[in-house]
Amino acid sequence: MSYRAKLLALFTATVVLVTALVAGLASTSMRRSFERLEEQRTAELLSQFRREFSRRGDEVTRRVQAIAARDASIRMAADLGRSSPDYAPYVNEAGSLAAAHQLDFLELIAHDGAIVSSAQWPARFGYKEEWITAPVDWNEQSAFLKRENLADGTALALVAVREVRAGDSVLYIAGGERLDRSFLATLSLPSGMRAMLYLNNEPAFSPQALTDASGPVAHAEKLAPVVQQIQQQGEQGSQIVWWSENPASAEAIHGIPLKGREGEPLGVLLVGSSRRDVVEMEKHIRVVAMLVGAAGVLLGLLLSGWAATRATRPVEQLADAAREVAAGNWWAQVPITSDDEFGELASAFNLMTRELSDQRERLVQAERVAAWRELARRLAHELKNPLFPLQITVENLLRAREQNPAQFEEVFRESASTLLAEIANLRGIVQRFSDFARMPAPELQPVRLNEVAEHVLKLLEPQFTAAGRAPITAKVELDPELPVIQADPELINRALQNLVLNAIDAMPSGGSLALRTSHRDGVVTLAVSDTGTGLTREECERLFTPYYTTKRHGTGLGLAIVQSVVSDHHGKITVESEPGRGSTFRIELPVQIPQTGTARGANV
C-alpha cells in the first residue's frame, strides 16, 4: 500500500471515527433525555394513581359512612343483636343499599363476622368474614385495598369499614369500589402511556388476570417476568417488553405492588410507556448521523486526498528524481516548494545529486586518465616488443652493410623477413585495439545456444590436439530442452570463442574442457570449465578489467569483450576458480531481452 493510500486511509478512518463518536454521543444523550422524561412521566402517573386512589378511598368511606348513619342501620344492628337473630329479612338489604349508594361491594356483617347480606355475592349469607372481627377501630380506619371473593372469581376493591353500634350489638358495614379497567379509564394518561392492573396472586402467571382500560391485555404472557419479579420482591420494578420484532413496538413497563391493609400482596399496577417516540427519534438521529457521517466521510476523503497528495508530492518528486538518478541522470533535481522537512529533504537530495555528479565527473575524468595511461602503457608495452626486434634488425642491417657487405644480401633478406613479421605483429596489435573500440550493438534474433556451443567447439576442436602441446579432452553437456533466446549469434559466438580459447590457454599441460548449458526461470546458463592453472581471488576480481591479462602475450581485451557482449544481452558473467584446480566461467542470459533499457552495464 502506498504512503498516500495509507495517509488517505488514516485520514478517512479519523473522520469516520470522529463522526461515529459524535453521532453516538448525540444518540446516547438524546436517549438519556428521553429516558429521564419517561421516568418523570411514569412517576407522575404513579403519583396520579395514588392521588386517585386516595380520592376514591375518601369517597368510598363517605358512602359507607352514610349507610352506617342511617336509622335503619341502627335498627338493624339492634335487631341482629338479639339472642336469636333472624337474618332472613335483611338478606337482600345489601344489594339495594349498594345500588342506592353507588357501591360495587357492600356487605352487612354481624358481630360474629357472619355475613347478613352481601351485594356482591348474595349467596354467601351466613358465611364468616373473620378478618372484620379483629380488634380494630374501623371508624378510624381509612379505605384500604382488599381482595374480594366473588362467585365468578376475585376482584380488587377499595374498601372502607364502619361499625354501627346499638347498645352492645355491633353491625359492620363493609363497602367498596371495584378497582378494574373502569378505574384505569379514569386516569388521564399522556399519549403513549397506559396503565394495567394484574389481579392475581397465584404463583403461576395468569394472562387473563391482566387488564388495561380497554380490556384484557393481548399477549399478556410477555409481561409475566416483570409481574412475577414484583410479586416475589414486593417492590416496584421495570422492564422493557418487545411486543414484536419491530423495535418501535417496545414498551417500558414500570410496576408497583398493590398491597392490602396489612401489607399482603394483592396485585400489581403496571404503567406502560411506549418507546415508539424514542425509537423513532433514535432512528431519526441515526439517519441524520449517517447522512452527516457520509457527508463527513466524503468531505474527509476529498480533504484527505488533497492533503495526502499535497503531503506526498515532494516524496514522489524525490522518488522520480531517484529513479532518474538510477537511470543515469545524475543531474536530476527536485523543486523545493516548502521550507519544512520535505523542503529540507529535497534540498539535501539536490545537494546529493550535485555532489554525486561532481564526484562522478571527477571519477570519470580520473578513470579516463587512468584508462589512457593504461592504454598508453599497454600500447607502449605491446608496441615495445615488436619495436625492439625492429631496432635490432635494422641495426643488424646497418652493421652488416658496414662490416660485412658480402653477407648483407643474406642478412637483408632475413632482416626483411623479420621486419615484416614484426610489422604484421604490430598490425595485429592495432587491429585488436581497433576491434575493441568498435564493439557493435547486438542485433537480436532467435538463437539456439546449444547450436552456437556446438559450432564453437567444432571450430576450435583442432586446437585441442594441436601438435606441440598436450591434448585436451572436451566434455559437452547440453540441455536438450534449452529454450531459444533472443541474442546476436555473432557476438555470442565471439564471446564463447574467447572463453574456450582462454580455457585452452589455461591448460598448457593438457586437461579437460567442459561445456554445459542449462535453464531455469527464464534464464539460460552457459558454463565453460577447464582443469587448468586456475586463478587467485585477486585475479578473479580484476579479470574483466580491460587490458588486464594474466597471460604473457595477452592484450587484456578478451574477457572485457566477453563481458561487454554479455552485458549488451542483459546477462551476467561470473567466474569460479581456485589456483591449480581450474576455472569455470558461467554466462547467464535471459530468454527474452527487455524492450526497454539500453544501458551497457556488465553484471559481474
Give the interface segment with another protein, choosing from 105-113, 115-123, 260-268, 523-531 (CB under 8 A): 115-123
- The answer for residues whose C-beta is within 8 angstroms of residue 413's C-beta and 6 or more apart is none
Options 92, 139, 357, 418; binder of another protein; rule CB under 8 A: 92
Q: Using DSSP, state whether 574 is helix, strand or coil.
A: strand
The alpha-helical segments, DSSP class H, found in 171-214 are 181-186
Query: Could you tell me the smallest distance in angstroms from the CB atom of residue 166 to another protein?
Result: 21
Sheet strands side by side (includes 472-477): 472-477, 511-520, 523-530, 583-590, 572-577
The Cα 110–Cα 126 span in angstroms is: 9
Q: Could you identify the residue written with the cell 564526484?
A: 359
User: Distances in Å between the alpha carbon of 408 and those of 146, 400, 423, 495?
Assistant: 164, 5, 21, 47
Of 87 and 205, which has the nearer Cβ to another protein?
A: 87
Amino acid identity, position 41: R
Of 113 and 247, which has the nearer Cβ to another protein?
A: 113
Query: Could you tell me the smallest distance in angstroms from the CB atom of residue 88 to another protein?
Result: 5
The Cα 426–Cα 234 span in angstroms is: 125
C-alpha cell of 457?
567447439
Q: Count the site residues for another protein by CB under 8 A.
A: 15
Give the interface segment with another protein, choosing from 13-21, 118-126, 236-244, 294-302 (CB under 8 A): 118-126
Options 125, 172, 183, 585; binder of another protein; rule CB under 8 A: 125
Options 91, 308, 487, 506; binder of another protein; rule CB under 8 A: 91
Query: Could you tell me the smallest distance in angstroms from the CB atom of residue 282 to another protein?
Result: 49
Amino acid identity, position 312: T
Tell me the angle at which helices 449-464 and 489-506 cross, rounded to the nearest 10 degrees.
Answer: 30
Name the DSSP letter for residue 603: B
Query: Could you tell me the smallest distance in angstroms from the CB atom of residue 96 to another protein?
Result: 5
Q: Does 204 bind another protein (CB under 8 A)?
A: no
Cβ atoms 174, 159 nearer than 8 A: yes
**Region 34-63 residues binding another protein, contact defined as CB under 8 A:** none
Give the interface segment with another protein, choosing from 90-98, 298-306, 403-411, 444-452 (CB under 8 A): 90-98
Query: Could you tell me the smallest distance in angstroms from the CB atom of residue 98 to another protein?
Result: 12
Q: What are phi and psi of 192, to 5 degrees?
A: 85, 5
Query: Could you tell me the smallest distance in angstroms from the CB atom of residue 124 to another protein?
Result: 6
**Region 493-532 residues binding another protein, contact defined as CB under 8 A:** none
Q: Does 121 bind another protein (CB under 8 A)?
A: yes
Convert 466-517 into a string of H (helix), E (strand) and C (coil). Answer: CCCCCCEEEEEECCCCCCCEEECHHHHHHHHHHHHHHHHHHCCCCEEEEEEE
Of 151 and 406, which has the nearer Cβ to another protein?
A: 151
The strand pair at 153-166 and 144-150 is best described as antiparallel
Options 124, 276, 455, 542; binder of another protein; rule CB under 8 A: 124
Give the interface segment with another protein, choosing from 83-91, 307-315, 506-514, 538-546 (CB under 8 A): 83-91
Options 71, 130, 140, 151; binder of another protein; rule CB under 8 A: 151
- The answer for residues whose C-beta is within 8 angstroms of residue 122's C-beta and 6 or more apart is 91, 92, 94, 95
Q: Does 123 bind another protein (CB under 8 A)?
A: yes
Give the interface segment with another protein, choosing from 25-33, 84-92, 510-518, 561-569 (CB under 8 A): 84-92
Of 123 and 363, which has the nearer Cβ to another protein?
A: 123
The Cα 441–Cα 175 span in angstroms is: 125
**Region 127-146 residues binding another protein, contact defined as CB under 8 A:** 127
Q: List the one residue out of 247, 227, 222 whose CA is nearest residue 238.
A: 227
Query: Could you tell me the smallest distance in angstroms from the CB atom of residue 241 to another protein?
Result: 32
Query: Could you tell me the smallest distance in angstroms from the CB atom of residue 174 to another protein?
Result: 18
Q: Which helix (H) or strand (E) holds 257?
A: strand 250-259
Give the interface segment with another protein, choosing from 68-76, 116-124, 292-300, 495-503 (CB under 8 A): 116-124
Of 121 and 138, which has the nearer Cβ to another protein?
A: 121
Of 90 and 544, which has the nearer Cβ to another protein?
A: 90
**Region 431-490 residues binding another protein, contact defined as CB under 8 A:** none
Q: Does 89 bind another protein (CB under 8 A)?
A: yes
Number of helices followed by number of strands (H, E) in the chain = 12, 18
Q: How many residues does the chain have?
A: 604
Q: Does 208 bind another protein (CB under 8 A)?
A: no
Of 152 and 402, which has the nearer Cβ to another protein?
A: 152
Q: Does 202 bind another protein (CB under 8 A)?
A: no
Q: Using DSSP, state whether 333 is helix, strand or coil.
A: coil
Q: Does 87 bind another protein (CB under 8 A)?
A: yes
Phi-psi region of 170 (alpha: psi -120 to 50; beta: other; left: phi over 0): beta
Query: Could you tell me the smallest distance in angstroms from the CB atom of residue 288 to another protein?
Result: 59
End-to-end CA distance of the chain: 34
Amino acid identity, position 496: L
Q: Does 122 bind another protein (CB under 8 A)?
A: yes
Options 152, 245, 341, 402; binder of another protein; rule CB under 8 A: 152
Binding residues vs another protein (CB under 8 A): 87-89, 91-92, 96, 121-127, 151-152
